[in-house]
Amino acid sequence: MNSKDEFDVVIVGGGPIGLACGIEAKKAGLKYLILEKGCLVNSLYHYPVNMTFFSTSERLEIGNVPFVSNNPKPARSEALEYYRRVAQSYQLDIHLFEKAEYINSKNPVKEIVTGKTTYKALNIIISTGFYDIPFPLNVPGENLPKVKHYYDDPHFYAFQDVIVIGAMNSAVDAALETWRKGARVTMVIRNAEIGKRVKYWVRPDIENRIKEGSIKAYFNSTIKEIKTHEADINTPEGLITIKNDWVLAMTGYQPNLGFLESIGIRLSDDEIKKPVYNDETFETNVPGIYIAGVICGGMDTHSLFIENSREHAEKIIRDIRSEK
């Protein structure tokens, strides 16, 4: 396509898999554009500052660019540096802080409307991940400023009363890190134990801190109401009220499946709501619309990661090239 705003492929999402799609498109000689609503690898940027990945560095590599880490499990800061280097190495065409607000997929040449302009493309790849929409608590007081669904730097919570809701990796990390900076931490956990997917090298730490009483944990419990200086908790022993300054609601995140449906992409009828797509080409039921990365799993956000969805990019671009 020849017009300045017309492309062979527009990639929605500038995370690692979106970058991988851009790399393959550039290698194939296609006219492409990556649209990212935030900063480069926006989801990774919003991870906790001290986060360590499950995967080893080589499993996070894309575009055959080596990822050298100081430790077997790379940290968030190293990942941000790595993906910046990848984008620079390939001189990828990325428009940052430009959100795809609407896609008209009814015609062979599709339109992507952003807050700045409208682009046209023969093909669109959606690689938007799942980190943008937190699961709500649906309790009174959830909208108070002291309630956060994203945890950042533990120093901020030093010497304050902090409730951490959840029992998976993000909740455990938040509880341990804020406690080590001097916060008085209480965990509210819906189930009877710490989550089974918690990193194996972290699990003993949190279990021992709970056992010794350094971190208070209410199991089989839920938040009933959040107040300005307190919080009510439903426990097996009844309702309790505790002093509280901050609530870190580490309840997980979900993909923007409504955006897929607005384009015409069908979802499965079960609770997984998995998008309909070809397992070999990753083309959805809408011709010319592809999906890549964790979005392919629908609500099953723990089945796909960077390491096992890097290959999506190559398969998608191979299919697009075969149709040219």
Helix (H, G, I), strand (E, B) or coil at 203: helix
Q: Please report which confidence band the pLDDT of residue 208 belongs to, taking 50, 70 and 90 as the band edges.
A: very high
Q: Is the pLDDT of residue 2 over 60?
A: no
pLDDT digits (tens, 9 = 90+) for 153-184: 999 999 999 999 999 999 999 999 999 999 99
Residue 281 and residue 273: Cα distance in Å, rounded? Answer: 20
The stretches of the chain forming alpha helices (DSSP H) are 16-27, 42-45, 76-90, 169-180, 203-212, 257-263, 306-309, 311-323
Phi and psi at residue 77, to the nearest 5°: -60, -35
pLDDT digits (tens, 9 = 90+) for 93-116: 999 999 999 999 999 999 999 999
Which domains occur in the chain, in start order?
A: 6-133+253-323 (3.50.50.60), 136-249 (3.50.50.60)
Residue 176 and residue 186: Cα distance in Å, rounded? Answer: 11
Choose the weakest-confidence range: 74-78, 199-203, 234-238, 302-306: 302-306
Q: What is the pLDDT of residue 3?
A: 62
Q: What is the pLDDT of residue 131?
A: 83
Contacts of 185 (CB under 8 A, 6+ apart): 162, 163, 164, 175, 178, 179, 215, 216
Burial 80-92 (b: 16+ CB within 10 A, else e): bebbeebbeebeb
CB atoms within 10 A of CB 94: 17
Contacts of 162 (CB under 8 A, 6+ apart): 178, 183, 184, 185, 186, 244, 245, 246, 247, 248
Q: Is the pLDDT of residue 132 over 90?
A: no
Residue 185 and residue 214: Cα distance in Å, rounded? Answer: 8
Q: What is the pLDDT of residue 225?
A: 98
DSSP 8-state symbol, 284 = B
Q: Is the pLDDT of residue 52 over 70?
A: yes
Phi and psi at residue 48, to the nearest 5°: -55, 145
Q: Please report which confidence band the pLDDT of residue 50 belongs to, taking 50, 70 and 90 as the band edges.
A: confident
Q: Is the pLDDT of residue 324 over 80?
A: no
Choose the weakest-confidence range: 41-45, 160-164, 259-263, 298-302: 298-302
Give 312: exposed, middle or buried? Use CB within 10 Å, 0-12, 13-18, 19+: buried
Q: Which residue has the tokens 């120093």?
A: 155
- What is the average pLDDT score of the chain? 94
